[in-house]
């Protein structure tokens, strides 16, 4: 390079949540800051999140909430760089976006209820702090040369950069431009990639009778029971993963927070069993393949999922069934939508049974259906319907204090590219904001 590396710009690749936050905290340093967006407009995923309201942050969070192959210590160290209280203060005081708590879900939304207000505030801050955004600038390769970087664009233009932050996201929601390009670049540069899979993704059902319940919703607890070694939470394998919250029957299967928050176990199990493509970073054709049904809708695959349909546990149900009179149908209709109650009673052969006449074995069948109902699953809806990507750049490949690559000087990673994601409820935005801030501030000093 003929130009001094110290005078070259800091280039941020990807203008999503993490990239915008990185630009805000990187701008104003000794280098000009250039933010490259591969699509026509920045922040498209922000605009569609939370049903157009943008769940900016959770009300509370800890390292244990995140799924990663990294240790809990690593996750905790990264999150400690920008605690939740300080992130909230930044949005409300620096960006002037008041946040309102949705008490029943523990989610923080903009008080206006408009995702557009969040994106506009971020874009204003980027501009005011002196960073420049260039749209329709898709990066295809990075090459390290003479103490700096050559950033190659799809149009064959090459931009010289002193430092680079990769914030291109993962593979989820390809309709807004997510194609895994940054992950492929990271892999080409020698970084270890935890095999990617769709997370927070609707599941495809394996019981044809459930199709008649499309649109039916209720509060439930979903458990994945045969998951030992199949997934990790903050680096720790768990024998069972469970989630309480909304459960929704869809035309093809199941969704809602209770399902989405355990869906990664199904996706990762299928990946490890060779049913969801090869390990590593997916190519565009693989993304399409992973969006399809991996087997017949009637064939259950993956780990065993069970559902507890109400807040009552087995002991409580047993007491109710023994103490009350009348029909089983009348009792269940007090706790469940009628269509679901009738289905459970039909499956257990107790549709017209009287409580007073229930034998012990019949009572056991009904309690099992109410508290450990087997939910057959045939697959998942793939990246096109997933909210985030599991896997990504291994956290062992970055310095957790700076998010600079341990393999390439002057290269940083942030956001969904990294191997960590959280549940529904603003956790993944928190991860994007926090890692974007760390990468941006560190690069600003570089």
Domain ranges of the chain: 5-195+393-445, 201-385
Distances (CA, A) of 389 to 1, 113, 183, 199: 36, 26, 11, 5
Residue 63's nearest CA partner among 86, 80, 39 is: 80
What is the spatial distance between Cα 39 and Cα 137, in angstroms, rounded to a whole number?
A: 7
Res. 403: pLDDT tops 70: yes
Task: End-to-end CA distance of the chain: give it in Å, rounded.
Answer: 18
What is the spatial distance between Cα 334 and Cα 210, in angstroms, rounded to a whole number?
A: 21
pTM: 0.91
Given a contact cutoff of 8 angstroms between Cβ atoms, the answer to whether 42 and 16 are in contact is yes
Distances (CA, A) of 23 to 125, 133, 147, 227, 320: 9, 9, 22, 39, 59
Q: What is the mean pLDDT of residues 233-261?
A: 84
What is the spatial distance between Cα 186 and Cα 213, in angstroms, rounded to a whole number?
A: 44
What is the spatial distance between Cα 433 and Cα 366, in angstroms, rounded to a whole number?
A: 47
Given a contact cutoff of 8 angstroms between Cβ atoms, the answer to whether 387 and 424 are in contact is yes
Task: Say how many C-beta atoms besides its own lie within 10 A of residue 310's C-beta.
Answer: 17
What is the spatial distance between Cα 63 and Cα 70, in angstroms, rounded to a whole number?
A: 11
| pLDDT confidence bin for 275, thresholds 50/70/90 | low
Res. 121: pLDDT tops 60: yes
> What's the CATH fold of domain 5-195+393-445?
FAD/NAD(P)-binding domain (3.50.50)
Res. 298: pLDDT tops 90: no
Rg (Cα) of the chain, in Å, rounded? 24
pLDDT in tens, 409-424: 999 999 999 999 999 9
What is the spatial distance between Cα 407 and Cα 190, in angstroms, rounded to a whole number?
A: 7
**E strand segments, 343-416:** 373-374, 377-380, 388-393, 411-413
Residue 241's nearest CA partner among 268, 222, 219 is: 222
pLDDT in tens, 307-358: 999 999 999 999 999 998 999 999 999 999 999 999 999 999 999 999 999 9
Residue 287's nearest CA partner among 373, 177, 210 is: 177
């Amino acid at each position: 390079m003929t130009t001094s590396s110290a005078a070259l710009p800091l280039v941020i690749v990807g203008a999503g949540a993490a990239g915008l936050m990185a630009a805000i905290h990187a701008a104003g340093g000794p280098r000009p800051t250039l933010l490259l967006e591969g699509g026509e407009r920045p922040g498209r995923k922000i605009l569609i999140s939370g049903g157009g309201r943008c769940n900016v942050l959770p009300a509370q969070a800890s390292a244990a909430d995140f799924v990663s192959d990294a240790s809990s210590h690593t996750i905790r160290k990264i999150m400690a760089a920008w605690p939740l209280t300080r992130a909230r203060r930044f949005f409300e005081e620096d960006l002037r976006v008041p946040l309102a708590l949705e008490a029943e879900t523990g989610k923080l939304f903009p008080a206006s209820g408009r995702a557009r207000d969040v994106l506009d505030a971020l874009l204003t801050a980027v501009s005011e702090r002196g960073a420049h955004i260039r749209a329709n600038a898709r990066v295809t390769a990075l090459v390290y040369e003479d103490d700096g970087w050559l950033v190659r664009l799809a149009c064959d233009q090459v931009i010289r950069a002193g430092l680079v932050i990769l914030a291109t996201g993962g593979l989820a929601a390809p309709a807004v431009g997510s194609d895994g390009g940054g992950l492929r670049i990271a892999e080409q540069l020698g970084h270890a990639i935890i095999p990617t899979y769709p997370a927070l993704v609707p599941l495809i059902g394996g019981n044809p009778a459930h199709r008649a319940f499309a649109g039916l919703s209720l509060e439930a607890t979903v458990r994945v029971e045969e998951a030992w070694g199949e997934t990790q939470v903050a680096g720790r394998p768990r024998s069972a993963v469970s989630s309480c919250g909304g459960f929704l029957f869809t035309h093809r299967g199941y969704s809602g927070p209770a399902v989405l928050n355990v869906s990664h176990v199904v996706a990762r199990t299928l990946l490890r069993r060779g049913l969801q493509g090869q390990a590593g970073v997916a190519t565009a054709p693989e993304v399409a393949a992973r969006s399809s049904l991996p087997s017949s809708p009637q064939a259950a695959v993956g780990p065993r999922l069970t559902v507890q349909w109400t807040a009552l546990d087995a002991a409580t149900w047993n007491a109710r069934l023994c103490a009350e009179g009348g029909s089983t149908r009348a009792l269940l209709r007090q706790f469940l939508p009628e269509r679901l109650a009738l289905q459970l009673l039909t499956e257990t052969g107790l549709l017209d049974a009287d409580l007073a006449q229930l034998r012990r074995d019949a009572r056991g069948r009904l309690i099992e259906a109410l508290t450990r109902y087997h939910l057959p699953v045939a697959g998942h809806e793939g990246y096109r319907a997933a909210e985030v990507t599991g896997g990504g750049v291994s956290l062992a490949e970055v310095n957790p204090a700076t998010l600079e690559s341990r393999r390439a000087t002057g290269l940083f990673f942030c956001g969904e590219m990294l191997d960590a994601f959280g549940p529904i409820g603003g956790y993944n935005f928190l991860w994007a904001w926090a890692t974007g801030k760390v990468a941006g501030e560190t690069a600003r000093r570089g």
